[in-house]
Amino acid sequence: MHIPDGYLSPATAAVMYAASLPFWYRATQKMKALVTGRLVPLIALVAAMSFVIMMFNVPLPGGTTGHAVGSALAAIVLGPWAASLAVSVALVIQALFFGDGGILAIGANVFNMAIAMPFVAFYLYRWLSGSAPIVSARRVMAAALAGYVAINVAALLTAVELGIQPMLFRDAAGHALYFPYGLETAIPAMMLGHLTIAGGVEAVATGLVIAWLQRTNPELLETFSQPGAATARLPRRAGLGLTALIVLTPIGLLAPGTAWGEWSREELAKLGLGYIPAGFDKWSNLWRAPLSDYDLPALNNPTVAYVLSALFGVALVLSAIFALGWLIERITRRGATRTA
């Protein structure tokens, strides 16, 4: 799943770096707050272990073998933030010292395998295992399933990143400049291998190692698996879902036509309505949006503009919500101090 340099356009690579940076920053802040200095050797050793585990060939029933990524395992034992940092470090070392995976593509590889994967695995594991005891079989199954789903989410993200390339980047003669297949090919090709072999390898490795740790080192599993520790999980999980939705935005380009109820004047006429409602004509020119029709004039490529508009829109909506939340909190706090 390591994307080499040459598959992604520089613009995509830059966007993926930009997407990964806040996670790195937040992870470092979080880990620093945990124990001063303890972070350095812990991340280094887990990263080294993750590097070595990525070399293991895991035998599957039927005789095939495959490599596990190990992000899910690290996330279950160390929590998603530490796992994210450790796997990132392992990926950077692979690219920078071993030539595995591109250097410009580090951002994308980190986002898929070191951010999406451990977070999905961690929250899925926690949700599936509920309040089951640390050494229960349910936790083994939860870990296996979390590993399976997490690597498939990572594979889907990889496929989307690759699949949007031919839509966005072609030379003047129309040749695809980077990865040449669209989403309709990239997603099935990627998922076929991951829903079967790679997913199986990750499930087997994650589940069996958790089972082994239950027998030999159960205390390693306790830190991040206490059922009571799950507080204020929802916003973060919602954030994850939101990120996934933004990443999947380009799929909207595949859909033909206009969203139901969002017709323009001309489309209304074509729908066979027979007439244009009087109010429509009156109001439809009232407001010309700054990103009209999601097409920025500065960027001639409509797809780039579409995705950028999506990101901009999300940022706008989020800041509006946060501003509102902040305002409400201020007002309620002021009310609370006054009554007290």
Partner 1 sequence: MSNAKPARGFIEKTLGDITGALEQTLFAEEIARQGGLLQSLDPRAKLVGALALLIAISVSQNLRVIVALYALTLPVAYASRVPMGFYLKRVWVFMPFFTGVVALPALFNVFTPGAPLVTLIDLASPRVYLAITQPGVVTAAFLLLRVGASVSIAVLLILTTRWTMLLKALRVLRVPQVFVLILGMTYRYIYVLLHAANNIFLARRSRVVGRVSSAENRRWLAASMGVLFAKAYALSDDVYLAMQSRGFRGEAQVMETLAWRGVDWLWLAVFLAVAAGAVWLGH
Alpha-carbon span 86 to 45, nearest angstrom: 8
Regarding 132 and contact with partner 1 (CB under 8 A), the answer is no
Is the Cα torsion angle 274, 278, 282, 284 positive or negative in sign? negative
Name which position in 17, 30, 92, 263 contacts partner 1 (CB under 8 A). Answer: 92
Q: How far from chain centre, in Å, is Cα 22?
A: 13
Which range, of 175-183, 227-235, 280-288, 310-318, touches partner 1 by CB under 8 A? 175-183
Name which position in 18, 52, 137, 320 contacts partner 1 (CB under 8 A). Answer: 52
Regarding 108 and contact with partner 1 (CB under 8 A), the answer is no
- Applying CB under 8 A, the site for partner 1 has a residue count of 73
Toward partner 1, which CB reaches closer, 104 or 247? 104
Toward partner 1, which CB reaches closer, 63 or 279? 63
Regarding 46 and contact with partner 1 (CB under 8 A), the answer is yes
Pairing of strands 57-59, 65-67: antiparallel
Q: Work out how close the CB of 245 gets to partner 1 at its nearest, in angstroms, rounded to a whole number.
A: 28
**SS3 state at 278:** helix
Regarding 51 and contact with partner 1 (CB under 8 A), the answer is yes
Regarding 99 and contact with partner 1 (CB under 8 A), the answer is yes
Closest CA to 11 of 92, 88, 102, 108: 108
Regarding 272 and contact with partner 1 (CB under 8 A), the answer is no
Backbone φ/ψ region at 70: left (φ over 0), alpha (ψ -120 to 50), beta: left
Which range, of 63-71, 128-136, 233-241, 256-264, touches partner 1 by CB under 8 A? 63-71
Regarding 301 and contact with partner 1 (CB under 8 A), the answer is no
- The interface with partner 1 within residues 5-44 (CB under 8 A) comprises 5-7, 9-10, 13, 28, 32, 36-44
Is the Cα torsion angle 20, 21, 22, 26 positive or negative in sign? positive
Is the Cα torsion angle 316, 317, 322, 323 positive or negative in sign? positive
Regarding 116 and contact with partner 1 (CB under 8 A), the answer is no
Regarding 254 and contact with partner 1 (CB under 8 A), the answer is no
Regarding 1 and contact with partner 1 (CB under 8 A), the answer is no
Six token digits for residue 120: 């999905």
Toward partner 1, which CB reaches closer, 12 or 152? 12
Q: Work out how close the CB of 226 gets to partner 1 at its nearest, in angstroms, rounded to a whole number.
A: 18
Which range, of 56-64, 116-124, 251-259, 301-309, touches partner 1 by CB under 8 A? 56-64
Regarding 176 and contact with partner 1 (CB under 8 A), the answer is yes
Return the residue matching tokens 């939860």.
142
Regarding 73 and contact with partner 1 (CB under 8 A), the answer is yes
Regarding 191 and contact with partner 1 (CB under 8 A), the answer is no
Cα dihedral 149→153→154→160 (10° resolution): 160
What DSSP line would sit under 117-151, residue for residue?
Answer: HHHHHHHHHHHHHTT--TT-HHHHHHHHHHHHHHH
Q: φ and ψ at 154, to 5 degrees?
A: -60, -40
